[in-house]
């Protein structure tokens, strides 16, 4: 098990920063760190993502794992790794990205939905997969596919909230990816970073008790 996978399974939550404006990014990251969230991905379709990843590695590298999300292809993977991303997360399965991650020593957690995609990703060398979109599929779907595929670590992304986070872990998730439910962009733009910290702490506490 890689160190980053070990961290994922211990921390259990990846915060997803999508379309955050650079001027708010550092304060938002610090607000989540203060609330106990230590794994953060900046999606590659966020303006200036590589520069933010690089800066966060410098600023928060000793406190947090910093990765890239929405890594759709090999070119994006190369940009993310060059910026210092410690893990790559995708909504899709691209075996070239997994292969590149293995060569570069960077964890890759590709997006999958069907049992066929999950096994294909695993055989290609992915150490964990992101089951997506969970908001539509729901935790019962995860429980069904986890039964025969129990050896493959699965992160659930989409649809996770405080009232159902326990269900996802009971269904077999090793971690969850969380976007707007955790990184509320209205609060960010209003400068309500205290609310971000409070929300982060609630989620961090919820997974500690699991």
Q: Which helix (H) or strand (E) holds 17?
A: strand 13-17
Q: Which residues are catalytic?
A: 41, 130
* Residue length of the chain: 210
Q: Is 114 exposed, middle or buried (0-12, 13-18, 19+ CB in 10 A)?
A: exposed
Written as six digits, the tokens of 6 are: 């070990």
The whole-angstrom separation of Cα 1 and Cα 10 is: 12
For residues 58 and 81, give the distance between their C-alpha atoms in angstroms, rounded to a whole number.
Answer: 14
């Amino acid at each position: 098990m890689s160190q980053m996978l070990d961290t994922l399974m211990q921390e259990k939550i990846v915060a997803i920063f999508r379309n955050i404006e650079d001027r708010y990014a550092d304060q938002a990251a610090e607000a989540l760190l203060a609330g106990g969230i230590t794994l953060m991905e900046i999606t590659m379709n966020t303006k200036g993502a590589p520069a933010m990843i690089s800066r966060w590695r410098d600023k928060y590298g000793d406190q947090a794992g910093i990765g890239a999300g929405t890594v759709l292809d090999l070119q994006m993977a190369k940009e993310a790794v060059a910026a210092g991303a410690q893990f790559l997360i995708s909504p899709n399965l691209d075996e070239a990205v997994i292969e590149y991650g293995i060569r570069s020593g960077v964890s890759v957690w590709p997006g999958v939905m069907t049992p066929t995609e999950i096994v294909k990703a695993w055989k290609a060398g992915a150490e964990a997969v992101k089951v997506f979109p969970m908001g539509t599929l729901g935790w019962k779907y995860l429980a069904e596919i986890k039964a025969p595929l129990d050896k493959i670590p699965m992160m659930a992304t989409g649809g996770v909230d405080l009232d159902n986070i326990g269900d996802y872990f009971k269904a077999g998730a090793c971690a969850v990816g969380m976007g707007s439910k955790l990184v509320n962009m209205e609060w960010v733009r209003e400068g309500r970073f205290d609310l971000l910290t409070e929300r982060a702490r609630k989620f961090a506490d919820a997974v500690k008790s699991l």
